[in-house]
Amino acid sequence: MNGHGFTLAGTRLVALGSGALWWPDRSLLCVSDLHLGKSERIARKGGAVLPPYDTRDTLNRLAADLARTAARIVVSLGDSFDDLGAAQALPEAERLWIARLQAGRRWVWIEGNHDPGPVEMGGTHLAELPLPPLTFRHIARTGASGEISGHYHPKVTVRAHRRSLTRPAFLVDRDRVILPAYGTYTGGLRSHDAALSGLMRAEAVAILTGAQPHVLPMPR
């Protein structure tokens, strides 16, 4: 399993190359910002017609992470669906796929700013999930400690050998970790944006996703 281990609030966590967060002692897998149904929502709103395979690709990768970790708890950190219409329009085959992934596991949907609130998709729907010493919520709060959140879709650009490479990234300091977006059709906010640099401490690091996660000081 490719990942980078770190400690938050005395708790050992692993940032996986896929963009998921693994808490081994709790057998808990956390993902953020799936944005299931985004291609359907864009087409419905009159935008560009994108290949309608984003939900399948996202669920494929999630299924692979669940197979690798055998997680007993799954936490989806909000914006799991792109909007209410996207949740309602989810094809039956994909609804059944989610139900199969949920079988035998505790599954928690955290409410996000895109989410319609509780949907008929199984699992538990919460505004946030406290699992001391950690708290799972969609959007980071100033002054929090032991916080795991998403929302910002952080990305980092690095330059090497006269080339630029941009990847989704975890942002980590002693107070919090902000997860990258897990969904296939999700953009991102560069780590040097004021919204992120203002939240993260000076010593924060970025963990770039990919086949081999790479750690570097958070670019500002």
Per DSSP, the residues of the chain read --EEEEEETTEEEEEETTS-EEEGGGTEEEE----BTHHHHHHHTT-----TTHHHHHHHHHHHHHHHH--SEEEE-S--BSSHHHHHT--HHHHHHHHHHHTTSEEEEEP-SS--SS-SSSSEEES-EEETTEEE-SS--TT-SSEEE-SS-EEEEEEETTEEEEEEEEEE-SSEEEPPP-STT---EETTSHHHHTTS-TT-EEEE-SSS-EEEEPP-
| Sequence spans of domains, the chain | 3-217
Question: 158-182, pLDDT tens digit by residue?
Answer: 877 778 888 999 999 999 999 999 9
Q: Point out which residues pair with 50 in neighbouring strands.
A: none
Q: What is the mean pLDDT of residues 144-154?
A: 96
Give me the CATH topology for the region 3-217.
Answer: Purple Acid Phosphatase; chain A, domain 2 (3.60.21)
Of the candidates 138, 44, 29, the one whose C-alpha atom is nearest the C-alpha of residue 84 is 44
Instruction: Give residue 82's pLDDT band: very low, low, confident or very high (50, 70, 90).
Output: low
Span of 51-55, 63-67, 132-136, 161-165 with lowest mean pLDDT: 51-55
d(CA 128, CA 139): 10
Question: 20-53, pLDDT tens digit by residue?
Answer: 999 999 999 999 998 886 555 555 555 554 555 6
Q: Please state the pTM of the whole predicted model.
A: 0.91
Residue 203's CB is within 10 A of a number of other CB atoms, namely 10
